[in-house]
Amino acid sequence: IRPSTIADPFYGYDRNTGEEVILSAPHSIGVQAEDNLPCEHPKDASKDFGRALIDKVIPHLIGTDEDQVIARASETTLDGELTEHFAYLEDYLNG
């Protein structure tokens, strides 16, 4: 329906009418629709993401990357060409 705000992060949704309702309305579905991520993402989620990045990605960037994690995740080469794994996007890029 709409993004939620920092001041009012939750609102209700009535699935029968498709309209916004107060969060405490009977049978309403609670909505938190953030459009300003990640600045309003919960602190623990940000910490968990940061920890996963440090533990799972950084070692491959600064180490030997024997599992080729970075190469497999890269969409393009240093020359700007699509990598083999993402070659299926070529027709889309060429319009």
Q: What is the pTM of this model?
A: 0.44
pLDDT, tens only, 27-55: 889 998 877 666 666 777 788 889 999 99
Output the average pLDDT for the chain.
87
User: What's the confidence (pLDDT) of residue 82?
Assistant: 92
Entry field: residues in the chain: 95
Count of Cβ atoms closer than 10 Å to residue 80 Cβ: 6
Cα–chain-centroid distance for residue 36? 12
User: What's the confidence (pLDDT) of residue 41?
Assistant: 65
pLDDT at 9 over 80: yes
